[in-house]
Chain A
Amino acid sequence: DVKVTQSSRYLVKRTGEKVFLECVQDMDHENMFWYRQDPGLGLRLIYFSYDVKMKEKGDIPEGYSVSREKKERFSLILESASTNQTSMYLCASSLWDRSNSPLHFGNGTRLTVT
């Protein structure tokens, strides 16, 4: 079974801090995603990566960056955390060789910025 592990379930950070959210998958998937989930807004894509060191902006990349130095690991970075980045962050992975490959999600990191 595919496992996507997010390093923290809960995080509390202060405004202006640099925040790192880590995600690791164990199924050799090429694609990895970072979403944020907010009530009434559903899942919104922040960044997508289809290979090591490759990344593409999603729908809401402002205030975020990503790093993918190894295939299994995809990090989301909040350069200077702000209160409007308080949210649930979900990481996912999938195979890239099929357009219908399902996404496998981690259990999320609930980030609170005070």
Chain B
Amino acid sequence: LAKTTQPISMDSYEGQEVNITCSHNNIATNDYITWYQQFPSQGPRFIIQGYKTKVTNEVASLFIPADRKSSTLSLPRVSLSDTAVYYCLVGGANAGNNRKLIWGLGTSLAVNP
């Protein structure tokens, strides 16, 4: 069973690039890696997802090495509004309809002026 591990907290400054790494040593062949962002008093919101190599969208990039045992969420030029908790999620469909999704405990990112 995959287990996801990520740093508890990180600090940054406005305009910097922030990289948050998630470790998932036991990732299964059919598992995807997904990152979510959560603000206080809101539910988590999808940011980006990947299976291997690199994925980029308008808000972030996701780097996944060939062995897929880790992944790195990259936030370019962060602003104060990026202060949030970021969750790494590993999982996918197993046999039947059971979706086994393994969440990290979240990384609390503080962006300072």
Q: Which of A40, A48, A51 contacts B105 (CB 8 A)?
A: A40
Residue pair A102, B43 in contact (C-beta under 8 Å): no
Interface locus among A13-21, A60-68, A74-82, A103-111: A103-111
Interface locus among B12-20, B44-52, B70-78: B44-52
**Given known A105-B44, A108-B41, A108-B42, contact A99–B93 (CB-CB < 8 A):** yes
Residue of A nearest to B101 (CB): A45
Residue pair B103, A100 in contact (C-beta under 8 Å): no
**Given known A31-B99, A99-B99, A100-B92, contact A106–B43 (CB-CB < 8 A):** yes
Q: With a CB–CB cut-off of 8 A, which chain B residues contact A104? A: 46
Residue pair A108, B34 in contact (C-beta under 8 Å): no
A-B contact count (CB 8 A): 59
With an 8 A cutoff between CB atoms, is B81 at the interface? no
Task: Give the complex CA separation of A12 and B30 in angstroms.
Answer: 41
Residue pair B30, A99 in contact (C-beta under 8 Å): yes
Question: What 0/1 pattern do residues 8 to 29 of B give for CB contact below 8 A with A?
Answer: 0000000000000000000000
Residues of A bordering B, CB below 8 Å: 4, 9, 31, 40-43, 45, 48, 50-51, 54, 56, 90, 92, 94, 96, 99-100, 102-108
Not counting A54-B97, A56-B97, a sample of 4 additional A-B residue pairs whose C-beta atoms are within 8 angstroms of each other reads A43-B87, A50-B99, A103-B36, A104-B46
Q: List 16 A-B contacts (CB under 8 A).
A: A31-B99, A41-B105, A42-B104, A43-B103, A54-B97, A90-B43, A90-B44, A94-B99, A99-B99, A100-B32, A100-B92, A103-B46, A103-B101, A106-B43, A107-B41, A108-B42
